[in-house]
């Protein structure tokens, strides 16, 4: 057990910030309109400061992570419910560490991007489009919105850091509550329908996982040893192949819904379209990664036999998801809905890399989780800036933006090129690793998934052409370019996209030891390339008609 409780402190900081916001006077307190605006500003600054402090704590913690040390570091284990073997147990390996850091980087960005999510933006064009509810016209509680955001940050840190399966399940389910209200109360369009759909899908998956978690606890009890939920102890529990298959399905379906993996994806386009841009970043950039993280951490390691058994089916689902998400994205008219469908395609690629069960595939998949969070986050944020100015999410309502807002258009181009995995940007490295790692075991699946790159070029470049080029729409003639606050929101993500595209080694050095441990536990060594002499012998045999 490590001495300083880094993870507990990092998780507690957002809760302290939420508590501080809770004690600030609300909009119902006496005062003028200027007083109310000042109180809302104070709430936003507290949220921003809290997210920056959390990032600083985690950054200092990351500098002390030893890539050659034990797999799980910064560990804390305390009894929580002794009668049921439940512990407050946290710790991180390289995979969890990079995902927690991604979360911490995205939070201050989201706070800045969400500055006007709950009040009318004075610079918004205010043009209403039939069937679309524009940026909120009525004042809603900034206190509640940013409290929900900070509480969600605690849950996201906790779900990646938990090393007790029951604690993981608690965070896994608790994340639903703040996100449900962020969509249902502060979203746009059919926000209530989208929030309920998101909640019902997630609760169904959570129920299946709960049954599997309870069964896992029962099977962990043997002889005089009580049951346990500790991940390290569960790795030593021997389960029959049949039991593994059923428990694997309980976990996998929950994670496939959360990811989401085709055909469990239908809640995502509605939720991401209705959510405010900042909430959409957290939904698609972080919450979705909990699903793929769970597959990598729990499905593979707790149930290795079942993982191998179901791999062919999951590979098929992943490839279908890659192609389906990309094809459907091409036909979308709503900008945010298009970005949501691209994420369905990308999550298929991540799942493909995980179940290829090669070091390149899983390292690429983990790196892809991080890079996808930054690239898709930038796309959603810039799309939100466009919507705030024009009052519409429809692609056809834009045109010629590059001429009136060149900086916005330029950053949108970089984020879009990252979405199609252009070489030199971060997503290319991770996608290349996934495809190479998959090809060594599943050549046909890798070849089919590669076509997703071509489709990505179509939906990204076509969207960019329709929104940024051509004649300037009259409603956009006076559109303002990015303001300093907006630059601070999207600038760090663009910088990370470029830096990690040029030099991803530091992140891969953190990820690789954890990937190696996973593959060792799943008994899945990397395929050995055939010796050149053997390859030439096979070619000669083929030329002779198969006769030795």
Full DSSP string of 445-503: HHHHHHHHHHHHHHHHHHHHHHHHSSSPPGGGTT-----HHHHHHHHHHHHHHHHHHH-
pLDDT at residue 486 in the model:
86
**d(C-alpha 363, C-alpha 435), whole Å:** 11
User: What angle do the packed helices 142-161 and 33-63 form, to 10 degrees?
Assistant: 10
Tell me how far apart the alpha carbons of residues 346 and 222 are, in angstroms, rounded to a whole number: 42
Per-position b or e across 461-491, b if 16+ CB within 10 A of its CB: eebbebbbeeebbebbeebebbeeebbebbb
Name residues whose C-beta falls within 8 Å of residue 4's C-beta, 6 or more positions apart in sequence. none
Q: Residue 14: what pLDDT?
A: 94
User: How would you classify residue 503: left for phi > 0, otherwise alpha for psi between -120 and 50, otherwise beta?
Assistant: beta
SS3 of 15, please? Answer: helix
Q: What is the pLDDT of residue 139?
A: 52
Task: Give CA–CA dist 282/276, Å, rounded.
Answer: 10
- pLDDT score for 13: 94
Residue 140's region, left for phi above 0, alpha for psi from -120 to 50, else beta, is: beta
What is the pLDDT at residue 217? 87
The predicted pLDDT at position 29 comes to 61
Contact 33, 150 (CB under 8 A): no
pLDDT in tens, the chain (548 residues): 557 898 999 999 999 999 998 888 766 665 566 666 777 788 889 999 999 999 999 999 999 999 888 889 999 888 888 888 888 999 999 999 999 999 999 999 999 888 887 764 444 333 343 333 444 444 567 888 899 999 999 999 999 999 999 999 999 999 999 999 988 888 787 888 888 988 998 899 889 999 999 988 888 887 567 778 888 888 888 888 898 999 999 999 999 998 889 888 888 888 888 888 888 899 888 888 999 999 999 999 999 999 999 999 999 999 999 999 999 999 888 888 999 999 899 999 999 999 988 989 999 999 999 999 999 999 999 988 888 888 888 888 888 888 888 899 899 999 999 888 888 898 899 999 999 989 988 889 999 999 888 888 888 888 888 888 888 888 888 888 888 888 898 999 999 999 999 999 999 999 999 988 888 888 777 777 655 554 455 545 444 554 43
Token pair of 499 as six digits? 């830096």
3-state secondary structure of 400: coil
Q: How far is CA 248 from the centre of its chain?
A: 22
Element housing 75 (H / E): strand 73-81
Check: CB of residue 157 under 8 Å from CB of residue 100: yes
Can you read off the two tokens belonging to residue 43? 């709430």
Query: What pLDDT is stored for residue 530 in this prediction?
Result: 56
The CA distance from 102 to 290, in Å, is 12
Domains of the chain by residue range:
6-543
Residue 225: strand, helix, or coil: strand
**The predicted structure's pLDDT at residue 253:** 93
Residue with tokens 């449900």: 180
Task: Return the HEC string of 271-336.
Answer: HHHHCCHHHHHHHHHHHHHHHHHHHHHHHHHHCHHHHHHHHHHHHHHHHHHHHHHHHHHHCCCEHH
Strand 86-92 with 73-81, pairing: antiparallel
Tokens 């402090």 correspond to 53
Instruction: From residue 200, give the alpha-carbon distance in Å to each of 210, 270, 489.
Output: 15, 13, 32
**Count of other CB atoms within 10 angstroms of residue 451:** 14
Q: Are 100 and 92 in contact (CB under 8 A)?
A: yes
* Residue 397 neighbours by CB under 8 Å, 6+ apart: 129, 390, 473, 475
pLDDT for res 265: 85
pLDDT of residue 129: 37
Token pair 């969400």 is found at: 114
d(CA 14, CA 290): 19
User: What is the pTM (predicted TM-score) of this model?
Assistant: 0.87
Burial class (CB in 10 A: 0-12, 13-18, 19+), 214: middle
Q: What is the pLDDT of residues 501-525, one digit of tens each?
A: 999 999 999 999 998 888 888 877 7
Residue 54 has what pLDDT?
95
Q: Is 316 exposed, middle or buried (0-12, 13-18, 19+ CB in 10 A)?
A: middle
Dihedral-angle region of residue 178 (phi above 0 means left; psi in -120 to 50 means alpha; beta otherwise): alpha
| List of residues 6+ apart from 91 with CB closer than 8 A | 7, 72, 73, 74, 75, 76, 161, 163
Question: What is the number of other CB atoms lying within 10 angstroms of the CB of residue 218?
Answer: 9
C-alpha of 455 from chain center: 22
């Amino acid at each position: 057990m490590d001495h300083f409780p880094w993870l507990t402190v990092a998780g507690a900081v957002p809760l302290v910030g939420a508590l501080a916001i809770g004690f600030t006077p609300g909009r119902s307190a006496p005062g003028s309109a200027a007083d109310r605006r000042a109180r809302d500003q104070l709430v936003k600054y507290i949220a921003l400061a809290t997210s920056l402090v959390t990032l600083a704590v985690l950054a200092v913690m990351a500098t002390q992570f030893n890539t050659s040390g034990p797999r799980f570091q910064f560990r804390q284990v305390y009894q929580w419910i002794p009668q049921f073997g439940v512990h407050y147990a946290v710790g991180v390996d390289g995979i969890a560490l990079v995902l927690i850091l991604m979360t911490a980087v995205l939070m201050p960005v989201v706070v800045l991007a969400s500055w006007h999510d709950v009040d009318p933006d004075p610079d918004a064009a205010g043009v209403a489009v039939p069937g679309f509810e524009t940026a909120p016209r009525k004042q809603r509680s900034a206190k509640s919105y940013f409290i929900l955001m900070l509480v969600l940050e605690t849950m996201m840190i906790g779900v990646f850091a938990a090393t007790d399966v029951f604690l993981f399940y608690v965070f896994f389910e608790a994340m639903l509550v703040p996100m449900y209200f962020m969509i249902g109360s502060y979203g746009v369009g059919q926000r209530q329908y989208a929030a309920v759909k998101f909640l019902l899908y997630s609760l169904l998956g959570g129920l299946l996982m709960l049954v599997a978690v309870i069964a896992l606890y029962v099977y962990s009890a043997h002889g005089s040893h009580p049951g346990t939920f500790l991940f390290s102890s569960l790795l030593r529990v021997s389960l029959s192949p049949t039991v593994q298959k059923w428990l694997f399905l309980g976990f996998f379906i929950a994670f496939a819904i959360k990811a989401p993996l085709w055909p469990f994806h239908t809640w995502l386009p509605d939720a991401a379209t209705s959510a405010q841009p900042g909430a959409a970043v957290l939904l698609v950039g972080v919450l979705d990664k909990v699903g793929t993280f769970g597959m990598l951490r729990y499905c593979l390691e707790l149930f290795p036999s079942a993982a191998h058994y179901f791999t062919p089916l999951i590979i098929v689902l992943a490839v279908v998801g890659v192609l389906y998400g990309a094809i459907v994205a091409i036909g979308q008219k709503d900008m945010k809905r298009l970005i949501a469908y691209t994420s369905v395609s990308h999550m298929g690629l991540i799942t493909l890399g995980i179940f290829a069960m090669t070091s390149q595939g899983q390292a690429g998949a983990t790196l892809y989780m991080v890079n996808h969070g930054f690239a898709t986050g930038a796309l959603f944020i810039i799309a939100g800036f466009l919507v705030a100015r024009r009052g519409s999410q429809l692609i056809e309502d834009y045109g010629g933006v590059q001429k009136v807002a060149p900086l916005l258009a330029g950053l949108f181009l970089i984020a879009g090129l990252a979405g199609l995995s252009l070489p030199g940007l971060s997503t290319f490295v991770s996608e290349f690793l996934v495809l190479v790692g998959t090809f060594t075991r599943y050549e046909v699946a890798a070849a089919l998934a590669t076509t997703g790159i071509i489709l990505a070029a179509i939906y990204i470049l076509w969207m960019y052409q329709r929104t940024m080029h051509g004649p300037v729409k009259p409603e956009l003639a006076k559109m303002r370019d990015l303001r300093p606050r907006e630059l601070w929101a999207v600038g760090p993500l663009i910088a990370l996209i470029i830096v990690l595209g040029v030099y991803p080694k530091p992140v891969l050095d953190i990820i690789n030891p954890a990937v190696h441990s996973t593959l060792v536990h799943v008994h899945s060594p990397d395929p050995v390339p055939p010796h050149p002499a053997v390859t030439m012998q096979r070619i000669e045999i083929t030329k002779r008609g198969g006769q030795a």
